[in-house]
């Protein structure tokens, strides 16, 4: 049994209670901005300015011009903060904790009502009054970045939850993209072949653990709402939407219920994507909204777009967790895996203790084969810190011979958003073996721990003297 004390455990499944508890216990990691800011890029600009200083706090904006609600963002920008969401684990323990919890799936529990049922409108609503912001100058307009779409196939008994960027384009319509061609696309195509629209519910704002579950990588037919129950350690409390009876989080901020119309298209994009480029690659789907549900005091929970730390972590942590589990089951010598922000979702570093020559190549090929986004994997020895780009680049500089240590595989499916990929979406993939390998000559220069401790004590005294 864990001896960790989780100060966030009593927040239930409510975003407001979570943020209040986080402010109480980790106030130095939540920056509350009370000064008015604009809704056109000001929020993103502050995130970028903080990141340039190496700072990634959660942010709460109390006054955004044109919005009648507070705005919360950057929740996932810090791995330390994600560890706190998962019960107070250290950043290095996130993979194991996420996998352990997500594997203990718990089915949702339907409740009679919740915060999101406080206001329900089936006619006369105007989506243009929803709180939205523009993130980048190159965006087509304001975007809903935290658009979590829930769909159900009652005949097959399955559900799906996934993120899809969405742009308001009318009083009761949105443009959205299913460019990931994932499970929602599969459900949409099945309905389109029958000449029917796909009923969906879009959740905009919920507890961070529900958001993390929505980013999970699962086989078709496995429901992310069950993963949310595993992450919470209790059933996700859900209510049914009025028209189609789709189960959505009872304590969400906003829920839009409607259909994705197979006959209609909507211009959507460009939008600043995880690659750091504004992408107009889109399926241009139209979502017709028929019901608006919200809590009376709803907040806008935003996900910072582009290649922000938040956007990358939210998509990457579930993927990393799955890859680490797979690799360690097959290769117990793997000691660490990291997807660096510098590589968006396209690079990974893996550290291992090789038991025989060539094992690093096997590990890299495993990663490149399992993860459809990866283009480059660098393998290093276990004493190289994969969390630090400079250490991996040092290993590459001193252990790697290009004519001997490169593996390239061509013509594999890649990300539709990769600006370097071919028009048909295929990519080549590369493994770089930066392990020392057999016969390597060299002894790594080191400093004794006692000397490092003395240096730390000296720096502390110097800092105290300077402060005095």
Say if 382 falls within a structural domain.
Answer: yes
The stretches in the chain having pLDDT less than 50 are 1
Neighbour tally for 156: CB within 10 Å: 11
Q: Judge if 294 and 394 occupy the same domain.
A: no
Q: Judge if 365 and 218 occupy the same domain.
A: no
Place of tokens 């241009």: 284
Q: Judge if 291 and 370 occupy the same domain.
A: no
Q: What is the pLDDT of residue 180?
A: 67
Q: Judge if 275 and 379 occupy the same domain.
A: no
Q: What kind and span of H or E run contains 68?
A: none
Q: What is the pLDDT of residue 290?
A: 97
Q: Judge if 141 and 224 occupy the same domain.
A: yes
What's the domain range around 94? 90-301
| CB-based contacts of 401, cutoff 8 Å, min separation 6 | none
Task: Please write the tens of the pLDDT for every residue from 296-334.
Answer: 999 999 999 988 889 989 988 998 898 888 889 999 999
Q: Judge if 249 and 383 occupy the same domain.
A: no
Say if 54 falls within a structural domain.
Answer: no
Q: Judge if 244 and 200 occupy the same domain.
A: yes
Q: What is the pLDDT of residue 111?
A: 96
Q: What is the pLDDT of residue 467?
A: 63
Tokens matching residue 280: 């107009």
The C-alpha atoms of residue 83 and residue 95 are separated, in whole angstroms, by 10
Say if 95 falls within a structural domain.
Answer: yes
- Of the candidates 266, 304, 292, the one whose C-alpha atom is nearest the C-alpha of residue 134 is 304
The C-alpha atoms of residue 138 and residue 278 are separated, in whole angstroms, by 6
For 372-422, the three-class secondary structure string (H helix, E strand, C coil) is CCCCEEEEEECCCCCCCHHHHHHHHHHHCCCCCCEEEEEEEECCCCCCCCC
DSSP string across 218-258: --TT--HHHHHHHHHTSPPEEEE-TTT--EEETT-SEEEEE
Task: Please write the tens of the pLDDT for every residue from 137-149.
Answer: 999 989 999 999 9
Q: What is the pLDDT of residue 437?
A: 84
Q: Judge if 241 and 281 occupy the same domain.
A: yes
Q: Judge if 250 and 185 occupy the same domain.
A: yes
pTM here is 0.89
Tokens matching residue 327: 């690799």
Say if 113 falls within a structural domain.
Answer: yes
Could you tell me if 345 and 415 are in contact, meaning their C-beta atoms sit under 8 angstroms apart? Answer: yes
Say if 42 falls within a structural domain.
Answer: no
Residue 428, domain CATH: 3.40.1670.10
Q: Judge if 174 and 268 occupy the same domain.
A: yes
Tokens matching residue 341: 């922000």
Q: What is the pLDDT of residue 79?
A: 93
The C-alpha atoms of residue 320 and residue 82 are separated, in whole angstroms, by 14
Say if 318 falls within a structural domain.
Answer: no
- Of the candidates 117, 118, 133, the one whose C-alpha atom is nearest the C-alpha of residue 72 is 133
Q: Judge if 282 and 424 occupy the same domain.
A: no
Say if 397 falls within a structural domain.
Answer: yes
Q: Judge if 173 and 284 occupy the same domain.
A: yes
Could you tell me if 220 and 211 are in contact, meaning their C-beta atoms sit under 8 angstroms apart? Answer: no
Say if 140 falls within a structural domain.
Answer: yes
The residue out of 255, 284, 301 marking a domain boundary is 301
Q: What is the pLDDT of residue 3?
A: 56
The C-alpha atoms of residue 380 and residue 383 are separated, in whole angstroms, by 8
Give how many domains the chain has, as a whole number: 2
The upper half-sphere exposure of residue 193, i.e. CA atoms within 13 Å in the direction of its Cβ, equals: 6
Helix/strand/coil percent split, the chain, to 5: 30, 25, 45
Residue 104, domain CATH: 2.30.110.10
The C-alpha atoms of residue 69 and residue 66 are separated, in whole angstroms, by 9
Q: What is the pLDDT of residue 1?
A: 41
């Amino acid at each position: 049994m864990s001896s960790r004390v989780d100060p966030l455990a009593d927040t239930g499944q409510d975003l407001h209670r979570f943020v209040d508890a986080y402010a109480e216990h980790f106030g130095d990691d939540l920056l509350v901005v009370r000064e008015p800011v604009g809704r056109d890029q000001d929020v993103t600009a502050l995130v970028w300015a903080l990141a340039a200083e190496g700072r990634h706090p959660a942010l709460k904006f109390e006054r955004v011009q044109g919005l009648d609600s507070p705005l919360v963002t950057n929740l996932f920008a810090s791995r330390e903060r994600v560890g706190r969401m998962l019960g107070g684990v250290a950043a290095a323990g996130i993979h194991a904790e996420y996998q352990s919890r997500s594997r203990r799936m718990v089915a949702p529990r339907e409740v009679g009502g919740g915060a999101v049922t406080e206001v329900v409108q089936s006619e006369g609503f105007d989506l243009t009054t929803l709180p939205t912001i523009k993130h980048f100058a190159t965006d087509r307009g304001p975007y809903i970045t935290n658009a979590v779409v829930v769909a159900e196939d009652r005949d097959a008994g399955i559900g799906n939850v996934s993120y899809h960027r969405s742009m308001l384009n009318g009083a009761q319509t949105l443009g959205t993209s299913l460019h990931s061609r994932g499970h929602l696309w599969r459900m949409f195509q099945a309905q389109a072949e029958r000449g029917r629209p796909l009923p969906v519910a879009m959740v905009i704002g919920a507890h961070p653990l529900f958001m993390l579950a929505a980013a999970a990588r699962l086989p078709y037919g496995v429901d992310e709402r069950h993963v949310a129950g595993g992450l919470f350690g209790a059933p996700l409390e859900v209510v049914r939407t009025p028209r189609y009876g789709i189960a959505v989080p009872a304590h969400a901020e906003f829920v839009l219920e409607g259909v994705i119309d197979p006959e209609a298209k909507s211009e959507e994009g460009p939008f600043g994507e995880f690659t750091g480029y504004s992408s107009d690659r889109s399926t241009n789907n139209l979502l017709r909204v028929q019901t608006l549900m919200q809590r009376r005091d709803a907040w806008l929970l935003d996900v910072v777009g582009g290649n922000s730390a938040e956007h990358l972590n939210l998509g990457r942590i579930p993927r990393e967790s799955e890859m680490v589990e797979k690799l360690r089951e097959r290769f117990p010598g793997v000691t660490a895996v990291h997807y660096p922000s510098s590589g968006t979702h396209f690079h990974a570093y893996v550290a291992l203790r090789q038991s025989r020559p060539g094992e690093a190549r096997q590990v890299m090929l495993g990663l490149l084969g399992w993860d459809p986004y990866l283009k480059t994997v660098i393998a290093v020895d276990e004493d190289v810190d994969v969390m630090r780009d400079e250490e991996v680049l040092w290993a590459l500089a001193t252990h790697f011979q290009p004519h001997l240590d490169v593996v390239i595989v061509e013509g594999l499916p890649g990300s539709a958003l990769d600006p370097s990929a071919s028009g048909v979406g295929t990519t080549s993939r590369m493994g770089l073996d930066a392990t020392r390998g057999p016969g390597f000559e060299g002894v790594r220069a080191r400093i004794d721990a006692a000397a490092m401790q003395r240096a730390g004590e000296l720096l502390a005294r110097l800092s105290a003297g300077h402060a005095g």
